[in-house]
Chains A and B, each alone.
Chain A
Amino acid sequence: MKKAFPIFALLTLVLLSYALYEALVAAPTEQTMGEVQRIFYYHVPSAWTAFLLFLVNFVASIVYLLNRSDKADILALVTAEVGVVFCTVVLVTGPIWARPVWGIWWTWDLRLTLTLVLWLIYVSYLVLRRFSSGSQTPLMAAVLAVFGALDVPLVYFSIWYFRTQHPSPVIGRGGSLDPRMTRVLLINWAAFLCLALLVCWSRYRLERLKREVEETQALEALLEPKGVR
């Protein structure tokens, strides 16, 4: 596994550069929106990756609640962290695209609001992990993750109804996507998934090492009486 990591890192780098070239150069320019549409190749794959990571976080949290496995807890932690980063990318690139195309930075549209609420929920999850100490942190975090995931459909329905009542100025990309654009989008998504996996992987290793060090230190402190060296 140790050897696989640098190889995978290199592959990800190559794929990311290729995806960058495809998105900025090879993909056709969109007719009405122009060059700004290219942000779409970062925005959408980031969103998909973030949602996928949050899904993994939910599953890992359930697994932790069932069997209290340390691995599931670390997986939940790293997917939430990396998921929040990708979700932030979505929330930042969205308005950059929306300003020239829609004429506004933000609207309380269904997808936008849902993404924002997801971001809020998982930031509160990370805050909880940061502020609670000791061995009960994983349990608290797993419980909150379950609450958060159950909240998502309720958020969806509430905003869906909220929005149908108050129509918003714009929405919808409409029409069908050029097949060349779909290809670039999928290449970018693959690259982003690899990047996410890479970051999660290294973060996972780091967290495991950190816990091992903590355990060893705690054990040493127990074995060594105070003041004796």
Chain B
Amino acid sequence: MSSLPTISTATLTKDLRLEWRSKDAINSMLFFALLVVVIFSFSFNPTAEESRQIAGGLVWVAFLFAAVVALNQTWARELRNQVLDAYRVSPAPANALFVAKAVGNFVFVSILEALMTPLFIVFYTLRALGPAWQLIPVAMLGTWALVVNGTFFAAMSIRTRSREIMLPLLLFPISIPALLSMVEGTSAILTGEASAKFWIVLLAVYDLVFTSVSLLLFESVLNAE
């Protein structure tokens, strides 16, 4: 019987390789986020000062919507050919699968953010007035917050009718505190008017709570009949 890290790494490598060859998730996410950026830019047409105040909200709403595209595809691949059933009867720990999927989604969404951020800076002429390095912990903790719950709820929504629409319905209400922290933290850093420390701590607590509870409950969700 293999251990959790071995199986996680194997699943993660497989997912990353599949994505590298097909580029399904990343392409659809990128194009989707690009559309959101352009549409927001048209609808608000902000000045540099205004955009500093609203950018936090725009950036994270764009990333959230784009992330749902990737999260919805998380388990779709495993449903074909009954991979999940095979996984269920295998002695491999269920959490290994969850960790691999969550880390995989984290990688995809982080790549998306890294590629989209320059575009946001160009379109909205952004320049941080606060300590810009703090954007990195906000982005990393925030992305993990979205991805860990998103991966978990995606595993739940594949068992429902109309599964594509189910994921955002489950994910968004639970994500409200994380989303608020990301938006407010980013705005605080961009405008330089307040400290983002509280939001970073809150995101860390959120991540800790929901990562633990996901790991605790994933096995029952995977084995639910």
A binds B: yes
Does residue B10 face the partner (Cβ distance < 8 Å to A)? no
Chain B residue nearest in CB terms to A122:
B173
Contacts A143-B156, A147-B213 given; indicate if A120 touches B173 (C-beta within 8 A): yes
Q: Are A143 and B177 in contact (CB-based, < 8 A)?
A: no
Which of A117, A121, A147 is packed against the most chain B CB atoms within 10 Å?
Answer: A147
B129 interface residue (CB < 8 Å to A): no
B174–A147 CB distance below 8 A: yes
DSSP class of A's interface residues: helix, strand, loop or mixed?
helix
The count of A-to-B residue pairs whose CB atoms sit within 8 angstroms is 89
Residue from the list B160, B162, B178, B194 in contact with A165, Cβ < 8 A: B194
- Neighbouring B residues of A120 by C-beta, 8 Å: 172-173, 176
The binding surface of chain B is classed by DSSP as helix
Partner-contacting stretch, out of B11-19, B35-43, B201-209? B201-209
Interface assignment of B113: CB less than 8 Å from any CB of chain A: no
Q: Are A147 and B169 in contact, CB atoms less than 8 angstroms apart?
A: no
| Chain A residues within 8 Å of chain B by Cβ, number | 30
Most buried by A among B173, B174, B202, B205: B173
> Min CB distance, A214 to chain B, in Å?
17
Contact A128 B166, CB 8 Å, known A133-B160, A139-B224, A154-B209: yes
B20 interface hit (Cβ, 8 Å): no
**A131 lies within 8 A of B161 (CB):** yes
Tell me if A70 is interfacial: C-beta within 8 Å of chain B: no
Which of B156, B184, B210, B213 is in CB contact (< 8 Å) with A140?
B156
Whether B202 contacts A140 by the Cβ 8 Å rule is: no
A58 and B59 CA atoms in complex are apart in Å by: 34
B156-201 residues with Cβ-Cβ distance < 8 A to A are 156, 159-162, 166, 169-170, 172-174, 176-178, 180-181, 184, 194, 198-199
A206 at the interface (CB under 8 A from B): no
Are A143 and B220 in touch, CB under 8 angstroms? yes
In chain B, positions 120-149 with a C-beta closer than 8 Å to chain A are 149
Interface residues of A in 60-87 (CB under 8 A from B): 65
Q: Is A124 an interface residue (CB 8 A)?
A: yes
Within 8 Å of chain A (Cβ to Cβ): is B76? no
Given A132-B161, A136-B224, A140-B159, A155–B217 Cβ distance below 8 Å? no
Tell whether, in the assembled complex, residue B221 and residue A140 are in contact, meaning their CB atoms are under 8 Å apart. yes
Whole-angstrom distance between the alpha carbons of A158 and B194 in the complex? Answer: 15
**B residues less than 8 Å from A135 (CB atoms):** 225
A105 at interface (Cβ–Cβ under 8 A)?
no
Given A131-B166, A143-B217, A143-B220, decide whether A117 and B156 contact each other with a Cβ distance below 8 A. Answer: no
Chain B residues, CB < 8 A from A133: 160-161
The residues of B that contact A162 with a CB separation of less than 8 Å are 180, 184
Give me the 9 closest cross-chain CB pairs, A-B, nearest first. A136-B224, A154-B177, A132-B160, A120-B173, A158-B177, A131-B160, A121-B173, A139-B224, A158-B180
Taking Cβ atoms with an 8 Å cutoff, the residues of B that contact A are 149, 156, 159-162, 166, 169-170, 172-174, 176-178, 180-181, 184, 194, 198-199, 202, 205-206, 209-210, 213, 217, 220-221, 224-225
Q: Using CB atoms and an 8 Å cutoff, list the residues of chain A in contact with chain B.
A: 65, 117, 120-121, 123-124, 127-128, 131-133, 135-136, 139-140, 143-144, 146-148, 150-151, 154-155, 157-159, 161-162, 165
